[in-house]
A and B are shown apart, each in its own frame.
Chain A
Amino acid sequence: DTEVTQTPKHLVMGMTNKKSLKCEQHMGHRAMYWYKQKAKKPPELMFVYSYEKLSINESVPSRFSPECPNSSLLNLHLHALQPEDSALYLCASSRRLDVAGQETQYFGPGTRLLVL
């Protein structure tokens, strides 16, 4: 099973709302990622967790707050977003991070976020 699940599939929120995106995998992977993808652009890395610890924060604004409560679950908490934050948010996982870089990444279907 190489499945990464994400909920919700779609989300519409106002600029004063607080919402959360959820990502789950049961492949025993110990590295998990959040990416942001704007229309007609490639995915851009936001955060990387390794063994439930934040390894990379790509200078993401504090209105995005990641959380990794256990090895299977990754959340992205959203607060006071701007319309320009509307995008497809992708979660991915890989077996591990090591000195050679990460191995094959498996992506979830994404959450399409619209900020009004």
Chain B
Amino acid sequence: DTGVSQDPRHKITKRGQNVTFRCDPISEHNRLYWYRQTLGQGPEFLTYFQNEAQLEKSRLLSDRFSAERPKGSFSTLEIQRTEQGDSAMYLCASSFPSGPYEQYFGPGTRLTVT
């Protein structure tokens, strides 16, 4: 298995545009997480799926953000009407459904909003 993959790795967009990121988890993992990491900070939890069900969303995830995992495999994170404050690294992670609580992270998608 090649690990968690994310696409694209880099995205530059103009303010007001919509962007969509994709995450492909490790195939045996049924839990999938999205995090956001800004410069000089640790990753911050955004949302979490178990199979296709989105079970929790952070307050950081405004109405402009939506995440889906329609078939319980890959996931997409969409940001509508992007703002400069959305510029960050968006990380995806996946894990098995129960202990040892280890999440495997993808390389991230770096978003720059100009």
Partners in one complex: no
Give A residues with C-beta under 8 Å from B.
none
